[in-house]
Chains A and B, each alone.
Chain A
Amino acid sequence: MAKTQKSFFSFSTLFNVRNTVILLCLILMGWLGAAFALDHKTIFLPGVTSNGHILFEASCASCHEGFKPVTNETCMRCHEAEMATDAHGPKKFRDLRWAAELEKLEVLTCTTCHNEHVHMFDRGVHLKPDLCMICHEGIIQGELASHKDFSPDGCWTAGCHNYHDHRTISTGFLRQNMGQADMLPKPALPERSFKPELKTPPQPDLGKEFVGGRA
């Protein structure tokens, strides 16, 4: 002990464990701070971002307000149109008939099922493979015995069911449209109707400003 005190200013005490740890912490803090200040925020990402979000993964604020968890509002800012026909949305579970299902899985928030920066499955969103089974297993063993031997993640990976958009994958829809001709009688895309107001174009303005002019 006395020996250590004597050599307080010696080279070996300068690099003792405590000082090394402090130094490493300072380097780490400096590195993280610099990354934050210089907008290299991708180093804070905990994993690979999904194909859908990777193009703006560096702008953390797109999804994260400070360090708060991601809310439905952040998701809906971009996905509102897709969710307009959401069959499993909060509206469904506010209906008393389905409200009890929430005890099995709290599906009122997007992040219950979807996580970002973790392993992704085919459809570009993270999903635990057997989420559907939490509520639907009973139905499959009973009424829908035809589905009994299917794999639990097959509901959506096989392309049959879409959790949010039931419009085309309900049995009703398929039954209704069975036996249709390959080509429907008439294409249903709307014709665009733009009618210009003028017969002859006006004189172009701003010409002077563009040829060597100044603003």
Chain B
Amino acid sequence: MKQVVLGGLLALLLWSGLTAPVAAVDNAQLQAINQSWSKSAHALAEVNCSSCHQPQSAKQVIQQPTHESCRSCHEGQVDTFLLGKHGIRLLEGQPALTPALAHLPMQAAVHDKQMNCNACHDAHSVKTLPASVDSCLTCHKDNHSLNYKNSRHAQLLQEEGVLPRPSTVSTTCATCHLPRQTSESGTVMVNHNNTYTLLPRDRMVKEVCMNCHGMEFAYNSMFDDDLVESNFARPPTLSLDTLKMVRTLETQRSGNATSK
């Protein structure tokens, strides 16, 4: 019975998709979209409207392309996105994640925002700079996120001014939680699995912090809850016992070495 109802609904959906007008876009909106696109990296890479809205596999115009359209060019990015909390519901065939479903504090105004590629990236303008901080702060309202703007990391980004995309000097939300990785073939890709470099913190030390910071500085920062909450507003004051133990061990070993 359920299958019959579902089948009926699906048929209705397909039928309406085939006959309904493509989109309620007026000329002014289309002009704005075209203009934004013509200045984008997509345009210069010959990714035209039809590349996403009417790919060869589709019979009709796709009004709202999904991550599958992006995937045809950005396979690694989409695949990693689907493994993180942002995308896992799509991977499992469930409706997209919305901030309403999150356990972390989220901005109330966007509780129904659907988490897909377009949630962070405007596919028409293709700018990775907004996607590196602003897109995150559209939804996230926890202290760590809100304190980013007061951090030394944010200052570095600001000092650099408007960039086409965050440079290796600036440190954004994405630098730590969606870091660039070089594959074996040498291609640079952003790992879009937002939970891959999040926890446990010691993995972040190796994967992210130590790209710029020394080991002890990184450990003493990452294991100070207050410092993480303040988004690293000050240099670390912690002095981990683990590090002291390794120092003691080192002295013992060098002591033994000299006595021999």
A contact residues vs B (CB 8 Å cutoff)? 37, 51-52, 54-56, 58-59, 62, 78, 81-82, 123-124, 146, 159-160, 162, 165, 167-169, 171, 173-175, 177-184, 187-194, 196-199, 201-202, 204-207, 209-215
**Complex Cα distance A199/B249, Å?**
60
Q: Which 9 A-B pairs have the closest CB atoms?
A: A180-B214, A196-B44, A215-B60, A177-B215, A201-B43, A206-B49, A168-B206, A182-B217, A201-B38
With A55-B97, A197-B44 already in contact, the answer to whether A215 and B22 are too (CB < 8 A) is: yes
B-side contacts of A181, CB under 8 Å: 214
Q: Would you list 14 pairs from A and B whose C-beta atoms are within 8 A, ordered by A residue? A: A55-B89, A56-B89, A146-B245, A168-B203, A168-B206, A191-B168, A198-B44, A198-B46, A201-B44, A204-B38, A206-B50, A207-B49, A209-B53, A210-B22
**Complex Cα distance A19/B97, Å?**
46
Closest to B101 in A: A55
Q: Is the CB of B188 within 8 A of A193?
A: yes
Q: Is the CB of B202 within 8 A of A165?
A: yes
Q: Is the CB of A184 within 8 A of B213?
A: yes
Q: Is the CB of B210 within 8 A of A51?
A: no
Q: Is the CB of A210 within 8 A of B25?
A: yes
What total of chain B residues lie within 8 Å of the partner, measured CB to CB? 78
B202 contacts which of A52, A159, A180 (Cβ < 8 Å)?
A: A159
B211 close to chain A: CB less than 8 A? yes
Q: Is the CB of B203 within 8 A of A162?
A: yes
Q: Is the CB of A206 within 8 A of B206?
A: no
With A59-B92, A146-B245, A211-B30 already in contact, the answer to whether A175 and B49 are too (CB < 8 A) is: no
B246 close to chain A: CB less than 8 A? yes
**Complex Cα distance A206/B59, Å?**
14
**Complex Cα distance A88/B18, Å?**
54
Q: Is the CB of A198 within 8 A of B175?
A: no
Q: How far is the CB of B66 from chain A (nearest CB, A)?
A: 17
Q: How far is the CB of A206 from chain B (nearest CB, A)?
A: 4
